[in-house]
Amino acid sequence: MEYISTRGKDGPLSFENALLNGLARDGGLYLPTSWPSFSASEIRAMRGKPYVEMAGQIMSRFTDGELHEDQITKMAADAYRSFTHKEIAPLKAMEQDIHVLELFYGPTIAFKDYAMQFLSRAFDAALSRQNRQAVILGATSGDTGSAALEAFRGREAVDVFILFPEGRVSPVQQKQMTSVRDAGVHAIAVKGDFDDCQALVKACFNDAAFRDQVGLSAVNSINWARLMPQIVYYFTSALAVGAPDKPVAFSVPTGNFGNVFAGWVAMQMGLPVERFIVSSNRNDILTRFFENGVMERRDVHPSLSPSMDIQVSSNFERLLFELLGRDGKAVADAMQNFAEMGRFSVEDKVLQSALQVFSGYCLDDTGTTAEIKRCFDMHNYLIDPHSAVGLAAARNARAENLVDKDTPIISLACAHPAKFPDAVHHASGQMPALPAGLADLMSREEQMLKVPNDMAAVQKLVLEHRRG
């Protein structure tokens, strides 16, 4: 399997090099040159297999010739050994044939663990083969950072620097990042919002001299290998509700578009998906795109669901590449317009193609609070604010007949409610407790660095603190 850039000027290259590069050298994002697929009978035969075996079977389609199925299965078994639920990604049935996919049983109790724990092992294998060191630079709106720092702590070949927006993550999210004190891992507070952090990361990658000097790589979802493990739980959950013999729909709380794009890839691989409901908070850039075909950046507004406080959804570029017939120049032109003017648009036929499978939905803080309360009152079940947005969107899709009445809807629960205790307590009257392994989290000593919203300052910090 070879990989190319969405902007047409980088690749083809191997999976390993796409993994270690992270962001393409032309500023684009890597994708496989073609989509592997499973037949309905092959998908049906997956039913009942252990999660780690399915991970090996599915992900090996993207690494053939480099990482074999048995190697990936072993890596997945090691990655998910610490997860606290035997099913790894279990489903909980709700009303109206809606199911919640619980993705919070990893060490940082958020869905990013599913990818990050695997990714750290993939990095170890690749760096060992190439006998080299790497500097990982990433941006987070909360969950990616803690998952990355936890996954890469103690690894000698990697230094990790995670930028997060100062004062714009939950106290639990911040403490999960700043209490990791191993050598080589650094939580960095930036004066700005998540989009500023993400822009700093991309700017550092686009500085070729700096990139080569420190051996820069990425673990944000701009890295293709971050999305690969997320494809797996789309398959496992869909099989649990009847796929491939019946279609399924997914409601996905979305900021950077990576998680929902992983679902779209699962569909390309043969999973019968009727619809993806792209669920946003008040930062509704994606909802607006699916309404009018215009991607237009506006100010980022803080919300009860801070991991979705985003107005630049980087992974949407991957879908745009597909919608535009894999025309790298057209994508590059659109992204240049977005960078310079804060907007781009697509032709109506392109929008209509997207609307065949995607719908946009947004929910403000008042609605989010109401959904948390409704879910607790009706089901005695606590959900975090991001999951509440997704669940409300799923119910809305059912009510408005956006999904066939016989099609199960799976709503992704991307974080444990204890990550956002104040919002959950305010809505439900219940204070969610942290899992046992994190019970002392808020008393742990913090360690973090601070930088202004300036690329030179970030680069100086990396050069001063890296071990290589």
Active-site amino acid positions: 112
In angstroms, the CA 292 to CA 306 distance is 25
243 and 403 Cβ atoms separated by less than 8 Å: no
CA angle 251, 412, 300 (to 5 degrees): 75
DSSP class per residue in 140-181: -SSHHHHHHHHHHTT-TTEEEEEEEETT-S-HHHHHHHHT--
How many CB atoms within 10 Å of residue 414?
A: 28
Nearest-CA neighbor of 44 among 273, 321, 210, 239?
239
Token digits of residue 134 = 């790497």
Q: How far apart are the first and last CA of the chain?
A: 31
Q: What is the rounded CA–CA span in Å between residue 67 and residue 147?
A: 23
**Residue 271 CA: distances (Å) to CA of 135, 207, 386:** 36, 39, 25
Residue 368 in tokens: 């989010």
Q: Which helix (H) or strand (E) holds 360?
A: strand 358-362
Q: How far, rounded to the nearest angstrom, does the alpha carbon of residue 172 sit from its chain's CA centroid? A: 19
- Angle at which helix 258-268 crosses helix 316-323, to 10 degrees, equals 40
Q: Is residue 293 within 8 Å of residue 236, measured between CB atoms?
A: no
Cα distance between residue 35 and residue 37, in whole Å: 6
Q: Where are the alpha helices (DSSP H) in 342-454?
A: 348-355, 365-379, 385-399, 421-428
Residue that the structure tokens 């919300």 belong to? 303
Beta-bridged to residue 161, according to DSSP, are 137, 186
